[in-house]
Amino acid sequence: MARNRDDQRETRQPQIPFTGPSERYETDRESAREPQERYSLRDSEMQTLADIGMFRTLTLADLAKHRYAGNHTQAQVEIRNLVREGFLRIRTSHPSKAVYAALTHQGKELLNRGRSQGDRQTYYAHFVKPREMRHDAAIYRLYQAVAGRIAREGCHVRRVVLDFELKKSINSKVAKLGSLPEAEREQGRRQIALDHGLTVVDGKIPLPDLRIEYETAEREQTKVDVELATSDYHRDSLAAKARAGFSMYALHEDVGALRRAIDDPELTKDILSL
């Protein structure tokens, strides 16, 4: 049974790199009622799945603003369809009443099947803890601000890397250094950091909240590591992130509290407001 809807024009924000088939993506799904039900998704729906999958969880309000350029009607129609098809789950947080979306296992598999050769983007499924949900949503807003600037410079985003993807890769390698003499461990940490485009600060490898890999107008491959600072940061932690060379941002509503908490004008002067 085909489920097709008329395509609608949409104004998009800077694209996160999903490179699956354009216009419609058709496949088969096993169903209890229909053994082999066919469905099709618009390109905009696949891009919505990619946005959510790359950042784990997003609020519907942020999706409507950034993915659908404020077109709440189209956002609601497509989100309902993706939930109905079994690719998304919705959860409301309390007491904020913010509504979050996360991929199901089926949604993640759909994105992985549609990826192009050489695409190294990681997608995530299922909900996380409420505090992590809020953090993921804030990182998505951070991405939109930075990616917008990248796009205005004539560059193109190729990949998004979250901190726990870097952490997983780095920790497994650092763990293997445990039995070595201290001098060799230090040399090993520096090499691991170098291999991941990072640096060692006070014997540790600081990780950014978000890495954006992109191609410049001259077709050079580069990246920017960005950190979302909050009033929960300790001064030493913020200093280590700054020394690691990360671009520092804070949500507009958090800037004042962050500067009061850190109480170091020299350290906070380069923090940009979202």
Per-residue pLDDT tens digits for 230-250: 777 788 888 899 889 999 888
75 assigned to some structural domain: yes
108 falls within a domain: yes
- Per mean pLDDT, which range of 109-113, 157-161, 169-173, 263-267 is the poorest? 263-267
d(CA 18, CA 47): 6
**Residue 74 domain flag:** yes
Give, for 240, the enclosing helix (H) or strand (E): helix 235-243
One-letter amino acid at 161 equals: V
Which residue, 141, 153, 122, 25, is CA-closest to 82?
25
CB atoms within 10 A of CB 244: 19
Burial of residue 223 (CB within 10 Å: 0-12, 13-18, 19+) is middle
CB 19 within 8 A of CB 115: yes
- CATH at 101: 1.10.10.10
Name the residue among 262, 259, 227 with its Cα closest to residue 245. Answer: 227
Number of domains in the chain: 1
Residue 255 lies in a domain: no
What whole-number distance in Å separates Cα of residue 121 and Cα of residue 193?
21
Q: Is the pLDDT of residue 22 over 50?
A: no
Residue 94 belongs to domain spanning: 1-127
Q: Average the pLDDT over 116-128 and give the result.
A: 88
Fill in the amino acid letter for 117: Q
**What residue has token string 């991941």?**
196
219 is a domain residue: no
Judge whether 114 lies within some domain: yes
Q: Note whether residue 44 is domain-resident.
A: yes
Q: Write out pLDDT tens, residues 130-179.
A: 888 988 899 999 999 999 999 999 999 999 999 989 999 999 999 999 88
Q: pLDDT-based confidence at 186, cuts 50/70/90? A: very high
- Cα atoms in the 13 Å half-sphere on the side-chain side of 52: 35
Q: What angle do CA 44, 1, 29 make, to 5 degrees?
A: 70
Residue 24: what pLDDT? 41
Residue 99 lies in a domain: yes
